[in-house]
Amino acid sequence: MGAKYHWQSQNVKQSGVDDMVLLSKITEDAIVDNLKKRYMDDYIFTYIGPVLISVNPFKQMPYFTDREIELYQGLVPRKPQHR
């Protein structure tokens, strides 16, 4: 199997393949089946080589909360001030 990236964890349920270059057959049916499997298990991102494929990119996912967005943007959440 290919190299693991820092964001890929061990012991996580695998649904289809995340990089469709790894499919045993690269056919329209195999691609659609893989995308369906990943979509049904809420894996909205899949790629084939350097091309990212997003199925239902507007689905709210728990790892994109306001806190993560603020941290990504370099903002520090402020405590509310009492007056």
The pLDDT tens digits for 9-22 are 555 567 889 899 99
d(CA 19, CA 47): 5
- Mean pLDDT, the chain, integer: 76
Give 7's pLDDT tier (boundaries 50, 70, 90).
very low
Which pLDDT score, from 0 to 100, does residue 32 have? 93
CA 45 to chain centre: 4
Cα dist. 18→2, 3, 47, 55, 76 in Å?
A: 11, 12, 6, 13, 33
- Check: CB of residue 25 under 8 Å from CB of residue 13: no
- What pTM does this model have? 0.56
